């Protein structure tokens, strides 16, 4: 048994359960990805409180898109908006079946990217922290570009390795090893490095950033991903405001 008295945590609802709930609700509802995002979307819910908006976490991007694909099963009278990360669509373009005014996607790879940009988080780094972050970013992007080029062909290739693993000198040779006849994606690396705030996977970008704000002996405030999300959500910039405005337009129609 766990330390919580053996009571298991509440499981994420299934797609069928969420659709069943949406069939019965009278509230305008925003379907978002997961619990990690709720720090952002609770603020959205609060800002749209005058419309009675309810935010519902679907348990992941695939679930949001699955529910969106079955939206005809939801009564027309129920005003539903969907919010999802662009994910690798930021490289490939949004598929035609998802180009719909009811589906709002992030400006960058994920909501973390939009937070990073809205909050100008790079400005939190001081002194050598910034140069170290940019050096580590360059090394990370060298691997990430290769991993992504493979992932875009075959999704089983991981792009979610933690920066601690990618930046470990003992792993570098293996991680950057090319397959027979495989060219290194130079153009993709250049594109990502030029716009890393939008194009690097958001959770990886945040983890890389936190490596440089939480170093031992740092005389300044230490941060966590959740504290940074909340800090920016309280005072959203243009990218988060864009999501709110798009959702408001949908649920008030």
Contacts of 141 (CB under 8 A, 6+ apart): 189, 192, 193, 196, 200
Task: Pick the more confident residue, 34 or 28.
Answer: 28
**Is it the case that residue 220 has pLDDT exceeding 70?**
no
Residues 46 and 107: their CA atoms lie apart, in Å, by 22
Whether 33 has a pLDDT exceeding 90, the answer reads: yes
- Residues with Cβ within 8 Å of residue 90, at least 6 apart in sequence: 108, 109, 198, 199
- Residue 228 CA to residue 239 CA, distance in Å, equals 15
224 pLDDT tier (thresholds 50, 70, 90): confident
Number of other CB atoms surrounding residue 144 within 10 Å: 28
Instruction: For 76-110, write each residue's pLDDT tens digit.
Output: 888 999 999 999 999 999 999 999 999 999 999 99
Q: If you average pLDDT over residues 57-72, what whole number do you get?
A: 95
Domains in the chain with CATH codes = 15-110+234-251 (3.40.50), 127-219 (no CATH)
DSSP per-residue string spanning 191-204: HHHHTHHHHS-HHH
So what's the pLDDT on residue 3? Answer: 44
Distance, in Å, from the CA atom of 249 to the CA atom of 253, rounded to the nearest integer, reads 6
First-to-final CA distance of the chain: 49
Cα–Cα distance measured from residue 140 to residue 132, given in angstroms and rounded to the nearest whole number: 12
156-174 residue pLDDT tens: 999 999 999 999 999 999 9
Q: How many CA atoms lie within 13 A of 110 on its CB side?
A: 18
Which two three-digit tokens encode residue 128? 């050598």
The pLDDT of residue 217 is 57
């Amino acid at each position: 048994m766990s330390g919580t008295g053996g009571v298991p945590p509440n499981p994420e609802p299934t797609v069928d359960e969420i659709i069943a709930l949406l069939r019965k609700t009278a509230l305008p509802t925003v379907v978002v990805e997961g619990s990690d995002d709720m720090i952002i979307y609770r603020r959205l819910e609060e800002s749209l409180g005058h419309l009675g908006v309810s935010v519902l976490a679907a348990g992941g991007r695939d679930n949001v898109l699955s529910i969106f694909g079955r939206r005809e099963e939801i009564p027309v009278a129920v005003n539903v908006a969907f919010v999802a990360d662009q994910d690798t669509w930021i490289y490939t373009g949004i598929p035609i079946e998802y180009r719909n005014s009811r589906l709002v996607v992030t400006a960058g790879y994920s909501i973390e990217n939009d937070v990073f940009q809205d909050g100008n988080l790079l400005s939190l780094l001081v002194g050598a922290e910034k140069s170290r972050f940019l050096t580590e970013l360059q090394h990370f992007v060298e691997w990430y570009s290769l991993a992504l080029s493979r992932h875009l062909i075959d999704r089983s290739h991981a792009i979610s390795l933690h920066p601690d693993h990618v930046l470990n000198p003992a792993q570098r040779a293996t991680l950057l090893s090319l397959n027979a006849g495989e060219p290194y994606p130079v153009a993709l690396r250049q594109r990502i490095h030029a716009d890393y705030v939008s194009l690097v996977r958001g959770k990886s970008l945040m983890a890389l950033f936190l490596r440089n704000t939480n170093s031992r002996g740092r005389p300044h405030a230490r941060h966590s991903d959740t504290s940074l999300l909340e800090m920016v959500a309280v005072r959203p910039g243009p990218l988060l405001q864009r999501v709110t405005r798009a959702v408001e337009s949908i649920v008030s129609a």
